[in-house]
Amino acid sequence: MTPPNSTAGAGFCAACGAALSAGARFCHRCGTPLGQGLPVARQAQPASGAAAVLPWGVAFVALLALIAMVAGKNFGKPAGSSLDGSANSLPTQELDGQGAGAAPFAGGAGGGAAPNIANLSPSERANKLYIRIMEYAEMGKVDSVAFFAPMAMASHEMLESPSLDERYHFGRIAEVTGNAEVAKAQADIILTEQADNLLGLLLAARAARMTKDDSAARGFDARLLKALAPQLATQAEEYVQHRSEIDRAVSDAQKR
């Protein structure tokens, strides 16, 4: 007669639930004689093998796909490329010449070794940063402009007696970084000292358009066109240096 708690035919130990081999008289795990011990609930065993690995594998593949998608957007872009993050602000051969990497923020565009900006005078440092930002802005390299703008603005603010040309530089940096207030302030100072200054007039027009003051902008355009010939006749050095910007402003003013 089969004992009351026998597990015969069930194939599992009544005490610990271990699977029993055919004809076993004792549990190979806990040693309980067959048919003795209190019955235990059969618990689900942890998944093993492929069943256990599959959920993690799917998640890992999804993660790789996400990383590849993000990385693919910037793959192959050189340092300095438009909107390519922090690498965009590093010195590059394109803008810094052969001295790139030798010292942070060294030099501007052009070939040959560039001087360390820390060794320049305050005026030279401000001018070097202005050139760098304008070149980045022309190439649409927004991240680099944003990276260097605080340094350039601070360099111009520290100039003890800035020239009108340096004030124009300051205003242009403010313009390309969206700071209409500083751009307008620098234009106002230039025009206070020299009412027909071409750089002050074109900067004032741009600052007015930044604030959607089209009426004021058209007024500055008219003044620019009227002052153009006599001012260019002075052959001022800043006009020679910024002639392309003046010509562009004149062309735009004539079209409006």
Residues 73 and 71: their CA atoms lie apart, in Å, by 5
**What is the pLDDT at residue 58?**
55
**What would the pLDDT profile of 173-215 be if each residue is shown by its tens digit?**
999 999 999 999 999 999 999 999 999 999 999 999 999 999 9
**What is the pLDDT at residue 202?**
96
Tell me the helix, strand and coil percentages in the chain, rounded to 5.
60, 0, 40
The first and second tokens of residue 136, run together, are 């980045």
Cβ atoms 176, 131 nearer than 8 A = no
**Residue 98 pLDDT > 60:** no
The first and second tokens of residue 202, run together, are 């074109």
The first and second tokens of residue 16, run together, are 């610990």
**What would the pLDDT profile of 107-136 be if each residue is shown by its tens digit?**
444 444 444 666 788 899 899 999 999 999
Type of residue at 71: A
Residues 77 and 101: their CA atoms lie apart, in Å, by 18
At 83, the pLDDT band (50, 70, 90 cuts) reads very low
Extents of the domains making up the chain: 1-43, 47-75, 85-255
Q: How many residues does the chain have?
A: 256
Please state the CATH superfamily assignment of the domain spanning residues 85-255 in this structure.
Tetratricopeptide repeat domain (1.25.40.10)
Cα distance between the two ends of the chain: 111
Global pTM value? 0.58
